[in-house]
Structure 1
Amino acid sequence: MAPVGPRSGDAIFANMERVNAELFTLTYGATVRQLLTDLEEVDEVNKQLDQMGYNIGIRLVDEFLAKSNVSRCVDFKETAEVIAKVGFKMFLGVTASVTNWDADGTCCSIVLEDNPLVDFVELPDTCQGLYYCNILSGVIRGALEMVSNTSSFAQPSIPSFLWDVSLKTEVTWIRDVLRGDDAYELQVKLVKQVPEEYPYKDDE
């Protein structure tokens, strides 16, 4: 039997069970507001949103692999394209593009054409310095630590400890419409590839 081909982000998104978009947006907004109340410092809120996203990202990988049938990524460039064209469409219903690659192919920008997280949102002057959608940077960072350009995306049944390499990345906001820019742009930089350590030794 021929292998099942990869599914587009549009096809997956159209068939996924999902919450009401407006409810999702309002719930996220309430979460950010509560963090601002509890933590008071904007920098701490940015860190907390990134950590929340990281925790989500490492858990989304299994669902992504199971539903996308994406084939093996051969390098970091292809990995970034999969995130933008399949991942963002699959989970947020938006299209993203990958631009501004450096000469080494280890740093690029992901530009969102739309951002449902910011519907109904205006940042007050007291929130200067807040990266309202910093949860997205954490999601990307967490997901990339769980899959790699040497991992077989076509075999979602393989547990994470059998994957060869973990991709350590830095993900930062370059442009943010809520901060007066003309687009939502995330810079994704590959810092290093870390070989995974097996949790056990085969003594046989």
Structure 2
Amino acid sequence: NSSAVMNKASLTKQGDSLFSKSEKISIELVSLTYGTFVARLLKENDNVEEVNLQLLKIGINIGNRLIDEFLAKSSKGACKDLKEIAEVIAKVGFKMYLGVTAEVGQWAEDGQSFIITLENNPLAEFVILPVHLQQTLWYSNLICGVIKGALERINVNVEC
């Protein structure tokens, strides 16, 4: 579908433009700080499920605040459907705040759920999880929370 390809290209261009205009912070610093933060949460709480929940809640709080800035800076009007929302998040939101774009895929047959994939996750750039945490710790659950918080603020119900 050529209109979908043009829309993705347009969104990618918008994300690049917004990223170039925004203040930058070293992604290495962000990654290391986030890693230290997650390590601290794990040290304070032996329950990995509770740490996953804390990361989600913190992300939701961040998303609640970021959505206003995102809408103001992106000048993006209302999206027409969930597919457009997903592409805006992947191509504009991720670029604007993390300096990377993401891919949207694996849509459910009913069109109500999808997966966003980061080829390079800047939060996990310097991370090697211990084997005992690899299957249980949702290291980037903060990102899920940010998306959830932002979308719920504009009345889009989300499950992570």
Same fold (TM over 0.5): yes
In the alignment, the residues of structure 1 paired with residue 130 and residue 104 of structure 2 have an alpha-carbon distance, to the nearest angstrom, of 31
TM-score (norm: length of structure 1): 0.70
Structure 1 runs (4+) deviating above 4 angstroms are none
Match of 2:47 among 23, 41, 51: 41
Match of 2:104 among 89, 98, 108: 98
Partner of 1:169: 158
Match of 1:19 among 6, 25, 34: 25
Q: Deviations over 1:141-200 (max 9, x none)?
A: 1011012xxxxxxxxxxxxxxxxxx111112xxxxxxxxxxxxxxxxxxxxxxxxxxxxx
Q: Deviations over 1:2-25 (max 9, x none)?
A: xxx987111111111122111111
Match of 1:119 among 125, 132, 149: 125
| Uncovered stretches (5+) of structure 1, i.e. residues with no partner | 148-165, 172-204
State the structure with bigger RCO (CA 8 A, min sep 6), 1 or 2.
2
* Residues 54-133 of structure 1 mapped to structure 2, 5 A cutoff: 54-128=60-134, 129-133=136-140
AA matched with 2:27: A
Percent identity over the alignment is 52
Report the count of equivalent residues. Answer: 149
* Residues 161-200 of structure 1 mapped to structure 2, 5 A cutoff: 166-171=155-160
In the alignment, the residues of structure 1 paired with residue 27 and residue 54 of structure 2 have an alpha-carbon distance, to the nearest angstrom, of 23
Report which of the two has the higher share of helix.
Answer: 2
Q: Deviations over 1:19-77 (max 9, x none)?
A: 21111111101100000011111111100001110100010001101111112211111
Deviation, 1:112, is 1.1
Report which of the two has the higher share of strand.
Answer: 1
AA matched with 1:137: C
Q: Structure 2 vs 1, CA of residues 125 and 102 (structure 1 numbering), >3 Å: closer, same or farther?
A: closer
Query: Is structure 2 residue 142 aligned with structure 1 residue 135?
Result: yes
In the alignment, the residues of structure 1 paired with residue 46 and residue 80 of structure 2 have an alpha-carbon distance, to the nearest angstrom, of 43
AA matched with 1:142: G
In the alignment, the residues of structure 2 paired with residue 58 and residue 71 of structure 1 have an alpha-carbon distance, to the nearest angstrom, of 18
Partner of 1:194: none
Partner of 2:7: none
In the alignment, the residues of structure 1 paired with residue 22 and residue 98 of structure 2 have an alpha-carbon distance, to the nearest angstrom, of 11
Deviation, 1:103, is 2.4
Q: Deviations over 1:98-134 (max 9, x none)?
A: 1121222111111112111011110112324111111
Partner of 2:6: none
In the alignment, the residues of structure 2 paired with residue 127 and residue 65 of structure 1 have an alpha-carbon distance, to the nearest angstrom, of 36
In the alignment, the residues of structure 1 paired with residue 100 and residue 44 of structure 2 have an alpha-carbon distance, to the nearest angstrom, of 31
RMSD: 1.6
AA matched with 2:138: Y
